[in-house]
Amino acid sequence: MKGYVLNSDGKTCSQSDHCADGSHGCEQEFMSTATSCVCKCRDGYTLRPDGKTCKKIDHCADGTHGCEQEFINTEDSCVCKCREGYTLKADGKTCQSVDLCQTLDHGCEHLCVSTTASYICKCYEGFLLAGDGKSCEKPGCLDGVMDLVFVIDGSKSLGPANFELVKQFVNSIVDSLNISRTGTHVGLIQFSTKVRTEFTLSRHTTGQDIKRAVNQMQYMGRGSMTGSALRHMFQFSFSEKEGGRSNIPRVCVVFTDGRSQDDVSEWASKAKNSGVTIYALGVGKAIEQELREIASEPSEMHLYYAEDFKKMGEITQKLKSRICKDRPADENMCRCENIILFQNQVTEQLKNLAQSNILLLLVAPFSP
């Protein structure tokens, strides 16, 4: 009979293949021994206690795999895996983000840019990365800190359409400044027959809030009392009550399009003598003599017209030379750099507006 052999007595038989009858019940493999049929398992599997069925060997079960995130058991070993958005590092155990900026507390103030194995911080246009490699700052001395008050003409001659353009000009200047609690503060007054404080230096501490307040201004549209506006600026706008700070440069920008109905020289002189730097910006029927009386000296460096930009580089150098000459490099130089920075910003914004035909009333430059 198959699976049996004749014993030495020539009469009886003994089983030679204990597995031959197929009754062993082994799940995977089997082996005949001298006395029985023994079940076996393939590589990567181990025999269960029933002696017949097999289970896969779990190389990860002892917990010594050291995988940071996930792991998978293979026939030969426990292999580490990473979750979606991560990749396995060279050590085969730890994971790193494909985009580190999305998963790490990078601390970048403006922008985080992922690199192959790390990340770098970057700043928005017009800002520079600080020494800590994370925060951003405006270029210039003390980040261009100043108390700035706009004195804006809201008279009838300007017209509602041009008033909206002046608001755009103000906001474009605000965009170029470092507005914060410890940085530049901005206030604004509008004048017509009367003077109205739109917001004080202490009212807003972010550029976004200032621009929102500018956009919400209502056009007054009556007479033009520039002198009264200058008096208000001098007496109130830079006061401690309205947010004026000590030892911070004070700057005023006066925007007008025509002749004032009152005297401008008295209060402009008082403001300038108190240390306020005044820039006079004229369009339309602005009167040269009035603008010169308003603007700080030398007037050629503080008086602007809508299209007078040809000598701005030279003017900037003269401003730096005359204000900073023979002064210490520390605090006074910082103030000097603040003024230069602001002058460049005003000039550039006026240039952009003029090139885009935003200022509808243009005046040819007066001769110096």
pLDDT tens across 235-259, in order? 999 999 999 999 888 989 898 887 8
Q: Is the pLDDT of residue 329 over 50?
A: no
Residues 290 and 234 reside in one and the same domain: yes
- Closest to 202 in 3D by CA, of 239, 254, 151: 239
Residues 131 and 155 reside in one and the same domain: no
The two tokens of residue 305 are 């017209």
362 within some domain: no
Q: What is the pLDDT of residue 338?
A: 55
Instruction: Kindly state the percentage of the chain with pLDDT values over 70.
Output: 77
Q: Is the pLDDT of residue 3 over 90?
A: no
Helix (H), strand (E) at residue 100:
helix 100-103
Q: Phi, psi (5° rounding) for residue 265?
A: -70, -40
Residues 148 and 295 reside in one and the same domain: yes
Residues 174 and 242 reside in one and the same domain: yes
Task: Classify strands 70-73 and 54-56 as parallel, antiparallel or unpaired.
Answer: unpaired
Q: Which ranges of 193-330 would DSSP assign to H, the alpha helix?
A: 207-215, 226-232, 265-273, 288-294, 312-324
Residues 23-67: tens digit of each pLDDT: 888 988 888 887 788 999 887 788 889 989 988 877 787 788 889
Mean pLDDT, to the nearest integer, of 338-363?
54
Q: Is the pLDDT of residue 199 over 60?
A: yes
Residues 38 and 72 reside in one and the same domain: no
CB atoms within 10 A of CB 136: 18
Q: What is the pLDDT of residue 201?
A: 97
The last residue of one of the domains, among 78, 98, 118, is 98
Q: Is the pLDDT of residue 96 over 80?
A: no
Mean pLDDT, to the nearest integer, of 197-222?
94
State the burial class of residue 65 (Cβ atoms within 10 Å of its Cβ: 0-12, 13-18, 19+): middle
pLDDT confidence band for 351 (50 / 70 / 90)? low
Mean pLDDT, to the nearest integer, of 112-129?
81
Q: Provide the domain count of the chain.
A: 4
pTM exceeds 0.75: no
Lowest-pLDDT range of 78-82, 309-313, 329-333: 309-313
149 within some domain: yes
Q: In what side-by-side order are the strands of the sheet with 303-305? A: 195-199, 185-191, 147-153, 250-256, 276-282, 303-305
Mean pLDDT, to the nearest integer, of 135-148?
66
Could you list the residue range(s) of the whole structural domain that residue 27 is in?
4-56
Residues 250 and 172 reside in one and the same domain: yes
